């Protein structure tokens, strides 16, 4: 489905922390070189368990995007609640998952580790595609880039995000 005229298709990368500290920084930067791809960096603090579902839904509803969200790229299961919330708010957004090695999915305690492993399984089940690393010389994100073309996130048009100004009273 092509986007509405005047509405750009977007992709969002959900980073597990600051880009500069991310082990897949090079991959994320290559996707961020696409004008219609944005990134959200997770904060260093993990919300308490009773807020882990409510906070991402609130964040997803409040997020103002300069276009229509078509693809969410998830790198770590800790960000799965936000990915799920973005999918609920933007119902035609696809989830693509580039999971860490399951042995590297660790929390601060056994309960948190178990929660992350459950989120990893849920992300794998929900994702339109789960990408895994391939041998050297091959790009494991070729299917993602092809899909970004199909969804019009990658295109030849100039991307100028619409300026959004608050309307105030004049007087």
Domain limits, the chain = 9-150
**Given this model, what pLDDT does residue 80 score?**
94
Q: Which tokens sit at 161? A: 């995000």
**Given this model, what pLDDT does residue 142 score?**
81
Alpha-carbon gap, residue 148 to 32, rounded angstroms: 12
Q: Which tokens sit at 168? A: 């105030």
At residue 165 the predicted structure's pLDDT band, cuts being 50, 70 and 90, is very low
- For 77, other C-beta atoms within 10 Å of its C-beta total 25
Contact 134, 140 (CB under 8 A): yes
Q: Give the chain's radius of gyration (CA, Å).
A: 17
Q: Which tokens sit at 140? A: 């494991």
Number of Cα atoms under 13 Å in the Cβ half of residue 134: 9
pLDDT, tens digit (0-9, with 9 covering 90-100), for 25-55? 998 999 999 999 999 998 767 766 667 778 8
Q: What percent of the chain has pLDDT over 90?
A: 47
At residue 107 the predicted structure's pLDDT band, cuts being 50, 70 and 90, is confident
Q: Is the CATH code 3.40.50 the one for domain 9-150? A: yes
């Amino acid at each position: 489905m092509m986007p509405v005229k005047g509405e750009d298709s977007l992709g969002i990368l959900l980073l597990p922390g600051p880009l500069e500290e991310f082990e897949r920084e090079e991959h994320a930067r290559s996707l961020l070189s696409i004008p219609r791809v944005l990134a959200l960096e997770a904060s260093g603090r993990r919300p308490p368990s009773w807020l882990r579902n409510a906070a991402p839904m609130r964040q997803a509803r409040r997020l103002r995007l300069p276009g229509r969200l078509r693809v969410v790229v998830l790198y770590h299961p800790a960000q799965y609640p936000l990915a799920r919330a973005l999918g609920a708010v933007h119902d035609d957004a696809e989830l693509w998952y580039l999971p860490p090695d399951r042995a590297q999915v660790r929390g601060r305690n056994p309960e948190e580790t178990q929660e992350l492993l459950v989120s990893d399984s849920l992300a794998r089940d929900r994702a339109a595609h789960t990408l895994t690393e391939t041998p050297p010389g091959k790009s494991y994100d070729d299917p993602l880039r092809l899909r970004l073309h199909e969804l019009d996130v990658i295109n030849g048009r100039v991307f100028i995000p619409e300026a959004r100004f608050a309307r105030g009273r004049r007087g």
